[in-house]
Chains A and B, each alone.
Chain A
Amino acid sequence: MTRDSRRFLQPEAVARISRLELQARNVVEGFLSGLHRSPYFGQSVEFVQHREYVAGDDPRRIDWKAWSKTDRYYIKQYEEETNLRCTLLVDVSESMQFGTQALNKYEYACAVAASLAYLLLRQQDSVGLTSFDSAVRAEVPSRSRRNHLHAVLAALDAQNPAEKTDIYHILAKVADQQTQRGMIVLISDMFVPRDGLFKGLKLLRHRGHDVLLLQIMDDEELDFNYSGTTRFEGLEAAGELVCDPRALREGYLAALQDFLDQLRRHCARNTIDFQTIRTSDHLDAALAHYLNHRIGMRQTLRS
């Protein structure tokens, strides 16, 4: 997004983006500070080269040996830090507007996307974002500049979300656009036609992309603890139903489990990482999952 585009952002959007950025920062920094004590950091990460220290880099990464030799500050760069092109596909359709927790699915998805973008950009990977509902809503090409975050966050603004269209179209478009292999992170509730989804994911895998599925679901969607006569009005024109939810709970959960199992099976078959995240989970979970995936990826590349 250019400076001009940002200028046309509504004040609420600006505020929202700022909050998102702040949130992402807090999450990531917090996560990383915790990660500092984690076994992931500094282990099994191969040194590739030095880079001159710039303001903002983590002082812990300063190579003091190099300083002692050169009297200049250099940080170490590791293999995973180099040239990862990540595209975030964020579902901003109407179904993502559902939520019973502090954050609805959309807000959670945005927070996850923002956090990932922040992390990626902080690690000087390039990140792009495509938001979609019935069609592509916003597209931000992959960049690795730190100030690219704002553009990414701005693209997450979804107004008047519409029902989804065939996601295959979206994924195919992304596959066509991403000529270079990279990582595709699909952040959605996956309430899309299965065939289109699987076909699209397969296409992305076929094109060599590394795909990570983060399914965002609300606790109630996962637990369905409603009681009392309720009229469920489907988002995205999915119909409506007056029922006693307790009577349908068992069947609902079974149907949902079938759906999740189907997703899991397909992802496993196609080496797609799949994770279901509750909106009540801390955002760290998403980041942890992403990092686990990155480590796995690197190990695959090395072998």
Chain B
Amino acid sequence: MLESLTSSLTGLFVHPGFILPGVALIAAPIIIHFINRLRFRRVKWAAMEFLLASQQRNRRRLLLEQLLLLLLRILAVAALAVLVARPLIDPQRFSQLLGQKTHHLVLLDDSGSMRDRTGETAAFETGLDVLRKLVAEGERRPDSQTLTLLLLSNPSQPIFTQENLNRDFVTRLEGTLKGLRCSHRALDLVAGVEAARKLLAEMTGAARNFHLISDFRRQDWEDNSALPAALRELDLDKVLINLIQTVPEAHPNLGITDLTGTVDVAAVNVPLRLKASIRNYGEQVVRDVRLTILIDGQKQPSSESIDKIEPGRERAIEFDVKFASTGPHNVEVQLPADALDQDNSRYLSLQIAESNPVLVIYGGNDENEALYLIDALGAVPEKTGFSPTRDRIDSLRRQPLEKFKSIFLLNVSELPPDAIKALEEYVRGGGGLAWFLGPQVRAAFYNDKLAGEVPGLFPARLGGIAELFLDESNPAPDFSVTDHPVLEVFQDDRDVLLSYTKVNRYFSVAKDWTVPDGVRVIATLRNKAPLMLEHRLGKGRIITCLTACGDLSWNNWPRIPDAFVPVQLQLATYLAEGRRTLQQRTVGEPLTISLAASAYAPQVEIRPPDGNRVLLTAGIKTPTDAVPAVQTPAGLEYEESFRNTDQPGDYALVLKRAEGGEEVRHYAYNVADAESRLQLATSDSIRRRLGPEVNAQIQEFGNLLWVHAEDTSHEIHDYVLLLLLVVLLGEQALALRLSYHPRPAGGSA
């Protein structure tokens, strides 16, 4: 019992063992008082009458004085005992005695960078350990503290709200923490702090503590002034701020920042050139970076490598992949494991077509004028993936154009209105259009029906056919090019191609025509006249070449296959990309499904990368003021949003067609590169950003002493010493007043 008594005093005194003897010593003045009462001398007294009268008159006062003196002596002994025991005062404990609790709000950063591993332990797991220790310490004083736990990925929905820290909660917490996973997303710390601040404002208690368990990356603290400002607001609210670091040092990190390619023209058995960009986020050069390629989960026998990447720099690797079948496929590229794994993989989902149909419309009488182009595009379909079709203008009206990846119009004199309309719809929907002029072109028609103040299908008003004469004095090539993917072949050091490529005839633009907004000149003749133009219409791209394609009297391009073929292939590819089927999706973005009610059933199945299939039933899309009712040709649409896209990888969406059968669409989700930068903000820089007036504790990695010493008690021996002094002086003064001091010899009465 004595031990339990002493232990209960532990929080109140540095040396609680002195208290019990001290309490025993308090009896000393009482005992001495009674002993004095028993020790007296006897005097036979005659004038009792007056003595009794005095005693009667002063009985109460005497009693009070005696008691006061006794009390002062007891207090002096008690103060001495307390002084020796070194008392502590803990405002929190005092408040707890009044029924007030200490609130802990923990904001746990579960952004992608918290997957950074030190050894085998991720920063997120370190954060969970800190949380466990904090709860364990609070459980030692059951029901005196509460915990609110927020995850940065969802700060508006706390996992726990003002839960009392006791044994029962410790058990529940452990079960919950086992199921927690760190997200892959880039998250906003400011939003988390704001949410915490709102919750803390509702808490009344002895003390409110805000614990931010995070990895304190430089980009969060030094490049962002909103976060220190948000914490300053917390400090003004008198919340104790505790910043807990979960990472000991910045780790080197390589990450794949991009995986892209001309997926829109991917065709079966046709090599598809892909490009992977790799960035070195570390401080040291990294050499011999190996990239592993997986197609549909199968590791390819060969890997790619980069000899070195300087710190802070990005390098790209291009490689070709080939798909043996049509349909959906996915490509994954991987780097070797390092501290942060989530950016070591990148995914690409693509639909492989049998081939890429291209429509070539020729306006001249000679169908061979299209042959050069047809040959360039489709001579080796297994290499190019294009299957060009030659046809007349009429076909623009007769068939749906959406199936074509791009449409080339060669030497077309005029277009009927419905063809114009079909072309406009096609381009606006994402289709690509290439104009090549020729002798059949009627400038007046183009100027009147195709070009306009605002560029429509045709970007410029034409003048007339012009000749580019040879200039002996100017040895420059007939035309110069800008940095454009279509003209990539001319941008190498192979000026020889430019020097060989000749232009004799071209269509000039109208004299008063100036390049309008939205139109770009991508190639220019020697005489400064524009040769090639690019502009957009809706989602689609239009490239206009003011010379002919396939008419050797206009230019000799077909005779320079090294230039002609790559340009046409690039052109066909560039135009096909207008559809932008390659969508870069970031983890966390909802997967929005919109389906025509007439074509699909509302039941959809989602197959995320983790393998757990999710069945959803899409609802009818209701129109709002912002979003008017979408009227498909058949009427209504189904709409659904799937939000659980934290895991990077391939998400397959399986749809049921109304007429039967399934359709599968694939979406690749990748992590954002914001979480790949692992440089840490130092404690000093954090303090500087917070400012000197903010009282925030910053706990370095591994320091857990604060968990145990989070009590706010402090010694008050100065006050006790002062009290003892006052009591002793008071006791002496009262004793003197009560004349308990012996008179000096010879003193008068």
Contacts and interface: CB of A to CB of B under 8 A. Distances in A.
Given A227-B739, A229-B39, A249-B739, A241 B55 contact: yes
A247 B47 contact: no
Interface residues of B, number: 29
A115 to B, nearest CB: 23
Contacts of B740: 244, 246
A218 B44 CA distance: 13
Interface in A94-113: 94-98, 105
Nearest to A234: B48
B60 interface: no
A56 interface: no
Contacts of B54: 248-252, 254-255
A98 B44 contact: yes
A51 to B, nearest CB: 45
A134 to B, nearest CB: 15
* Main SS class of interface, B: mixed
A233 B45 contact: yes
A54 interface: no
A268 interface: no
Contact of B47 (A225, A242, A256): A256
Contact of B50 (A240, A243, A255): A255
Given A223-B749, A229-B36, A244-B740, A234 B41 contact: no
Contacts, number: 117
B43 A231 contact: yes
B739 A228 contact: no
Interface string B373-409: 0000000000000000000000000000000000000
Given A105-B46, A233-B44, A255-B54, A247 B738 contact: yes
B49 interface: yes
Interface string B721-749: 00000000000000000111011000001
A191 B46 CA distance: 8
B62 A247 contact: yes
A221 B738 contact: no
A259 B749 CA distance: 19
A221 B52 contact: no
Contact of B53 (A244, A249, A255): A255
A55 interface: no
A248 B58 contact: yes
Contacts of A189: 46-47
A232 interface: yes
Interface string B22-65: 00000000000000110111111111111111110110001001
Contacts of A249: 54, 739, 749
A251 B40 contact: no
B530 to A, nearest CB: 122
Given A241-B51, A248-B55, A221 B41 contact: no
Contacts of A227: 739, 742-743
Nearest to A105: B46
A290 interface: no
Contacts of B55: 241, 243, 248, 251
* Main SS class of interface, A: mixed
B382 to A, nearest CB: 124
B36 to A, nearest CB: 6
Interface in A200-226: 218, 221, 223-226
B48 A230 contact: no
Contacts of B749: 223-225, 249
B48 A229 contact: no
Contacts of B739: 227, 244, 246-247, 249
B46 A221 contact: yes
A247 B737 CA distance: 9
A230 B41 contact: yes
Contacts of A248: 51, 54-55, 58, 62
Max chain B Cβ within 10 angstroms of own Cβ: one of A226, A233, A239, A243: A243
Contacts of A224: 749
A249 B39 CA distance: 20
A293 B50 CA distance: 30
Nearest to A100: B43
A57 interface: no
A96 B44 CA distance: 11
Nearest to B56: A251
B57 A236 contact: no
Nearest to B35: A229
Interface in A121-151: none
Nearest to A93: B46
Interface in A156-195: 189, 191
Contacts of A230: 40-43
Interface in A66-120: 94-98, 105
17 contacts: A223-B749, A226-B43, A228-B40, A230-B40, A230-B41, A230-B43, A232-B43, A233-B43, A235-B46, A238-B48, A246-B739, A247-B65, A247-B738, A247-B739, A251-B54, A255-B50, A255-B54
Given A228-B40, A232-B51, 19 more contacts: A224-B749, A225-B743, A226-B43, A227-B739, A227-B742, A230-B40, A230-B42, A233-B44, A234-B48, A238-B46, A238-B49, A244-B740, A246-B740, A247-B58, A247-B739, A248-B54, A251-B55, A255-B51, A259-B49
Nearest 4 interchain pairs by C-beta: A251-B54, A246-B739, A234-B48, A238-B48
Interface of A: 94-98, 105, 189, 191, 218, 221, 223-236, 238-244, 246-252, 254-256, 259
